[in-house]
Amino acid sequence: MSRKGAILRAAAVLAAAGTLIGLAAAPAAAKPHHDHGNHHDAEPIVIAHRGASGYLPEHTLEAYALAVDLGADVIEPDLVLTADGELLARHEPVLDETTDVAEHPEFADRKTTKDIDGNPVTGFFADDFTLAELKTLRAEERLPDIRTESAEHDGEFQLVTYDEVLDYVGTLDEKIVTYPEMKHPSYYEEQGLSIEDALADLLEERKLDRKRSPVWIQSFEYQSLLNIAERVDNRIGLNIDGQGPISNADLNEYADTLDTVSLNKNRIFPRAADGSISEPTDIVERAHRRGLDVHVWTFRAENTFLPANLREGTDPAAWGDIEAEFALFYDLGVDAVFSDFPDLAVAARDDC
């Protein structure tokens, strides 16, 4: 039996038993608004990207619980809003790719087209459903052609709210940080809604809005982070996609206002023209000089996601040399990694 298969089968047994379900310029002179929770000489933190999403359908309680079992330090729920203002753990407001919503004829009239970040998107949107309605849906694997074993669990798991994720974490004997990402804040703002206020309200209610709280907050929208920082004192990080340099001026501004820059891997080790990994940039060193933590995303084991020179064979779903990729980033001193396979991230960290 493959290692992947063994893990998936163990997860299925646990789920069936109900155990998972029940559960170069000078640094900026000004100090950051928040204290930093990590020291740059400490061992890197492993963040379970959408849970153990390499093994089970993402953003389910089962995927989060499996991530904890596999040694993750942090679990990451992406957050969207429902029609009744609840924070739902989903990667996007659109439900089509990760749920069975299209198989529910009672919701057929909810399909619509909306504008997200300047792009028209057609589908079923979480903000057109109440939480009670969303609870009738079931999660599905987002990458069924790549993650066939995870897809075998389609239809088994409920959608969950961030409130439920916090309830689950609260039952654990160990301290697990949650790292919610506010998805598309501008999309909600255009509708007269505020995902920042919804998250801040929940954290304040649970007394998790404190400086040392085991909740970190992230977004791709800088202004959204500035907005929520006016209400809560949690650690806050900006997600930066793409490839290319980040200026010292930008890093200085982030150091004044944030705790973390969370970077696409290509910002640190750019991809060459042939898709192979190339020499690292100096972004980690420059960010650290300014007191910023550096988190990196996303580490996935399958060939289709790896640099060309770390792939093994030609099957896009086969696992390549992800251990070598982890080692490159760990050796460079990053503070945390996001991975769909938290156990592989932990094992590679232990080998460094």
- The continuous run of DSSP H or E covering 165 comes out as helix 162-170
Could you give the angle at the alpha carbon of 114 between the alpha carbons of 111 and 115, nearest 5°?
A: 160
Nearest to 47 by CA among 206, 205, 228, 239: 239
pTM of the model: 0.89
Q: Is the peptide bond before 113 cis (omega within 30 degrees of 0)?
A: no
CB under 8 Å to 200, separation ≥6 — which residues?
Answer: 209, 228, 231, 232
With 0-12 / 13-18 / 19 or more C-beta atoms within 10 angstroms meaning exposed / middle / buried, residue 162 is: buried
Look up residue 157 and give its DSSP letter.
-
Question: Which pLDDT does position 352 carry in this prediction?
Answer: 80
Look up residue 27 and give its DSSP letter.
P
Answer yes or no: are the C-beta atoms of 203 and 99 closer than 8 Å. Answer: no
Per-domain residue ranges for the chain? 3-351
DSSP output for 191-229: TT--HHHHHHHHHHHTT--STT-SBEEEES-HHHHHHHH
Would you give the distance in Å from CA 280 to the centre of its chain? 23
The Cα 234–Cα 1 span in angstroms is 43
Q: Dig out the tokens for 129 from the structure.
A: 């459903």
Task: Kindly report the length of the chain.
Answer: 352
Give the residue carrying structure tokens 């550096």. 294
For 3-351, CATH number? 3.20.20.190
Number of other CB atoms surrounding residue 309 within 10 Å: 14
The values of phi and psi at residue 287, to 5°, are -65, -45
CB under 8 Å to 275, separation ≥6 — which residues?
Answer: 307, 308
Instruction: Output the tens digit of pLDDT for each of the chain's 352 residues.
Output: 344 444 444 444 344 334 443 333 333 333 333 344 455 668 999 999 999 999 999 999 999 999 999 999 999 999 999 999 999 999 999 999 999 999 999 999 999 999 999 999 999 999 999 999 999 999 999 999 999 999 999 999 999 999 999 999 999 999 999 999 999 999 999 999 999 999 999 999 999 999 999 999 999 999 999 999 999 999 999 999 999 999 999 999 999 999 999 999 999 999 999 999 999 999 999 999 999 999 999 999 999 999 999 999 999 999 999 999 999 999 999 999 999 999 999 999 999 8
Question: Which pLDDT does position 248 carry in this prediction?
Answer: 97
The values of phi and psi at residue 345, to 5°, are -65, -40
Cross-sheet strand order for the sheet of 45-49: 87-89, 78-81, 181-182, 216-219, 235-240, 260-264, 293-299, 336-339, 45-49, 74-76, 177-178
The values of phi and psi at residue 340, to 5°, are -70, -15
